[in-house]
Structure 1
Amino acid sequence: MDNLVQEMKTTFADHDDFFIHEEQFDQTAIYLIGFDTLIDFTKTNLYVRQMAQVSASVNELLINLSDQLDVNAEQIKKAILEGKLVVVSESKRNAIVEPVHSNLRRSIGEPQNESPIHGPLDAFGEDIDINIGLIRKRLDTERLCHCSYQVGELTSRKISMLYIKGKASSVLIEKVDRQLKQIESDIDTIDDLNKHFGHRKFNPVSHLFSTEIPIQAVDSLKKNRIVLFLDNYPFAFVFPHLFGDMLSTANDRNFPIGLSLMIRTLRGLGALVTLILPALYVALTSVNPEILKTDLALFIAESREGVPLTSILETIVMVGLVDLITEAIVRLPKSVGPTVTMVGGVILGQAMVEAKLVSNLLVIVTTIMLIGSSVVIGVQNSMYLRVLKYPVLILASVYGIVGLFTGLILICIYLASLTTCDIPYMTFRMKGKGDTK
């Protein structure tokens, strides 16, 4: 057996799905090497035999099979791990062949996390080539540029960058290209990719806005931004992530302008309600009840009659409970999630009110807050709003209405200070050639 074949056999001795198959051609042994979990061996072997019938010699067969000939052992190992077929002959020549792969990809399905209205119902999948094809299907222009990168130390991952030439800023493209080329560590999660764009450790706002709807990614490309794809990840990452992403989507333009503006206004109100409402309840019940009308103040006091907890404590308990229920619904199977929603949202809430642990008014407040946090676009935007409401709540419990407004001002200052490649997060629209407005 050839030394190279023996080396591969020793290297992958602990892999039960590794195969070395011997074939005879022109009275010469050739060896087919790869992983049968990544390669459809039956179809691939049939292809090799068909090519052998039209080849006069082993050397001609290798040339017909591939243009990657006589590579070194390290390249062969990498090719095998990537799911390629390696053909080695007794004459010590070798070739890396693109095989018929095992079907490890799901077909194009409907969005699971986003619900487009009056729009296409196809969604991105795990295959990066299919995802790029979904973009090219909608943007059949030579100005759509595609750059690929191989990153990772232990696990090689493919990252693709798409942009429209003449729309995205050349400075932004160069910065992203440089940052992607400098990645040497493994990219296993969104946060791993996010850190390479200057992600601060405790910053809840990501540099990337993820979407699983192709039309949303196309709309972002037309708005002078860059779209990134990570292999084996069914989302497109819009770069940079801007504040306006939580208020508008491409599907909004399917409605008349008046309805579209109303929908975006409601989303803005939802974000504001999420930050303000719990803090406003605490401020008005414990610090500044004097600003209310007498009958309204008496109504609130009556609703809290018999509740042993302070306003801030009962609010934190209810808000924390709502966040726990929301997280449980996401993690549990779909068959169990509705049951948890019913038990946690209705039965437990009613039981807490009857037990005088929380007031009726607070249940209404937390319900409105939960609805408000759900109307914004993007799960990551909803989550960071849920995080930011806690500092406002704490400030309102100490300083009342003044603390509430102070918290909102601090949040505005914080969000305004965030930048991605020198582009402010609070930018609502990127104009031509990457200018911001």
Structure 2
Amino acid sequence: MRHIVKEIKTKFSNHDDFFVEEELVQESAIYLIGFNTLVDLTKSKLYIQQMAASSTSLKALLTNLSDQINVDTEQLIKAVLEGKLIIVSKDGEENAVIDPIAPNLSSSIEEPKNESPIQASMDAFGEDISINVGMIRKRLCTERLCHVSYQVGELEKRKLSMLYIEGRVPNSIIEKVNQQLHQIKSDIETIDDLNKQFGRRRFSPVSHLFTSELPIQAIHSLKKNRVVIFLDACPFALIFPNLLSDMIISINDRNFPFILSFMIRIFRVIGVVATLLLPALYVSLVSVNPEVFRTDLALFVAKSREGIPLSAFLETIAMVVIVDLILEAIVRLPKSVGPTITMVGGIILGQAMVEAKLVSNLLVIVITAVVIASSAVIGVQNSLYIRLLKYPILILASLFGILGVCTGFTFTIIYLASLTSNDIPYTTFRIEQKGETK
């Protein structure tokens, strides 16, 4: 038992929130052991000192504090992972597991504002980095969960934490990410400032980091061999690397039977494709390749555009830009009036444009379908960049018709497939576990 403290310290050497503090009680030195994200050490030490004042000896103190006395090392390690405070005498002959005064992991926890989990936990990350790490530790009780902390920035020092599961994430990823985080010299004011540290993607709308405010999503990503990063005063888990599958697959899907979750994911794929292609298809079929339509359908489309002075391309661009402005206004306006004003404004504006013969009824239907489809994908940032990628395809469709649509869609796929984060392809669906071969 004399080397029990040394053994526990070795076990948790990769955990920066792990502490071993020496304290003097009853004229005897003791060690206090635990995680500072799960134990309020200051208040717990005060409680122990108060109990010591009414105890005659160290053994009496341990008896008063706990009914788990002199347990083996394995039980002590398990207790640390469960958020308990361990007391070990300096000679290692006596130990106890006590329930500490824990930091409040729920006072600043609110419902998610950017994600809507279904049949799942409704708590979300906050701005306190210690609380965020504690929320992960509370749910994932394993000594393999490693925590590395950093101080980054030049003028403004900010705390940054990296979490990963030892034995899951390949060592090459851990070493590269650790090196990139240590090399940060400039101030990190935004998520994009941190994103640039993982490699610049010139003119690329796709981030290296996937953001989530749900603890269950962060834990799922850890189990899928990825790294989770927390930035102080940032209420999100930053998951590295960001993969294409993140906009299609969510951990919440597993709350449904397999056939339902599969159907939901298929709908999300349809949403991505529809967002990219529907405006371009409208322009190509109406202005460049009308011969694709059957005669009666071609006459219907021509009648719907009767009296409209703008070309199909100009009216589509105008509607797409206006809709994107409305969606941006919803985000920027106060929540009490934003959705109402933009909804009424959108309906009135759309109706007025149709009655004024500036756009066709068919185009209004297409644009409405695009708005709904772009909202089906997971993650606000993913929705934004998919909406951006539809513009190059739309321009090619106005020039080359159906050929331009196919070419633009093909180049979009090639572009996404060319993106990598620390040599991990953006389009991969699985990161090899440590020790596996590709």
Q: TM-score range by the shorter chain?
A: 0.7 to 0.9
> Could you say which residue in structure 2 is the equivalent of 1:333?
334
**Distance in 2 of aligned mates of 1:204 and 1:296:** 38
Larger mean Cα displacement after TM superposition, 341-350 or 306-315: 341-350
Q: Provide Cα deviations, 1:17-40, integer angstroms capped at 9, x if missing partner.
A: xxxxxxxxxxxxxxxxxxxxxxxx
Give the aligned partner of residue 365 of structure 1.
Answer: 366
> SS at the partner of 2:239?
strand
- Tell me what 1:25 maps to: none
CA displacement at 1:200 relative to structure 2: 1.6
Q: Residue 160 of structure 2 aligns with which residue?
A: 159
CA spacing shift, 1:277–1:332, aligned 2, 3 Å: same
Q: 1:400-411 maps to which residues of 2 (within 5 A)? A: 400-411=401-412
Give 1:436 shift.
Answer: 9.0
Equivalent residue letter for 2:270 = L
Which residue of the partner structure matches residue 320 of structure 2? 319
Contact kept in structure 2, 1:106 and 1:126, CA below 8 Å: no
- Show the counterpart of 1:267: 268
Secondary structure of the structure 2 residue equivalent to 1:146: strand
| Partner SS state of residue 432, structure 1 | coil
Displacement of 1:430? 1.7
Structure 1: how far apart are the matches of 2:199 and 2:359?
43
What residue in structure 1 maps to residue 257 of structure 2?
256
The 5-angstrom pairing of residues 6-405 of structure 1 reads 107-405=108-406
Q: Is the 8 A contact 1:242 1:427 kept in 2?
A: yes
Contact 2:222 2:228 in 1 (8 A): yes
Give the drift of 1:315. 0.1
The C-alpha deviation readout for 1:61-117, integer Å capped at 9, x for no partner, is xxxxxxxxxxxxxxxxxxxxxxxxxxxxxxxxxxxxxxxxxx9x9711100000000
Cα distance in structure 2, aligned partners of 1:313 and 1:421? 41
Measured in 1, the distance between the counterparts of 2:345 and 2:276 equals: 22
Q: Under a length normalisation based on structure 2, what TM-score does the superposition of the two structures give?
A: 0.75
Pairwise CA distance, 1:339: 2.1
CA shift for structure 1 position 345 = 2.2
After superposition, the CA RMSD in angstroms is: 2.0
With over 3 angstroms needed to count, the CA separation of the structure-2 counterparts of 1:306 and 1:434, relative to structure 1, is: farther
Structure 1 stretches of at least 4 aligned residues deviating more than 3 Å after TM superposition: 434-437
- How far residue 338 of structure 1 moved from its aligned partner, in angstroms, is 2.0
- TM-score scaled by structure 1? 0.75
> Matched residues in 1 for 2:369 and 2:436: separation?
38
On the 8 A contact 2:156/2:187 being kept in 1, the answer is: yes
* Whole-Å separation in 2 of the counterparts to 1:340 and 1:116: 26
Which whole-Å CA distance do the structure 1 matches of 2:295 and 2:230 have between them? 58
Per the TM alignment, residue 435 of structure 1 is displaced from its structure 2 partner at its CA by: 6.1
Hey, what does 1:422 align to over in structure 2? Answer: 423
Deviation at 1:329, TM superposition (A): 0.2
Structure-2 separation of matches of 1:267 and 1:408: 17
Unpaired runs of 5+ in structure 1? 1-42, 55-102
Task: State how far apart, in whole Å, the 2-side matches of 1:231 and 1:315 are.
Answer: 43
Say if 1:393 and 1:138 are closer, same or farther in 2 by CA, change over 3 A: same
Q: 1:425 to 1:435 in 2, by over 3 A?
A: farther
Q: Does the CA-based 8 Å contact 1:244-1:429 persist in structure 2?
A: no
SS at match of 1:433: coil
Distance, in Å, in 2 between the alignment partners of 1:359 and 1:285 is 11
Could you say if the C-alpha distance between residues 175 and 196 of structure 1 is closer, same or farther in structure 2, counting changes exceeding 3 Å? same
1:431: how far off? Answer: 3.2
| Structure 2: gaps (5+ residues) | 1-41, 54-103
Query: How many pairs align?
Result: 340
Q: Is the 8 A contact 2:150 2:159 kept in 1?
A: yes
Matched letter for residue 337 of structure 1? G
CA displacement at 1:428 relative to structure 2: 1.2
CA distance in 2, matches of 1:409, 1:235: 33
Q: Is the contact between residue 170 and residue 432 of structure 2 (CA under 8 Å) also seen in structure 1?
A: no
Residue 142 of structure 1 deviates from its aligned partner by: 0.4
Cα distance in 2 for residues equivalent to 1:435 and 1:119: 32
**8 A Cα contact 2:274 2:370, kept in partner:** yes
User: Who is 1:76 aligned against?
Assistant: none
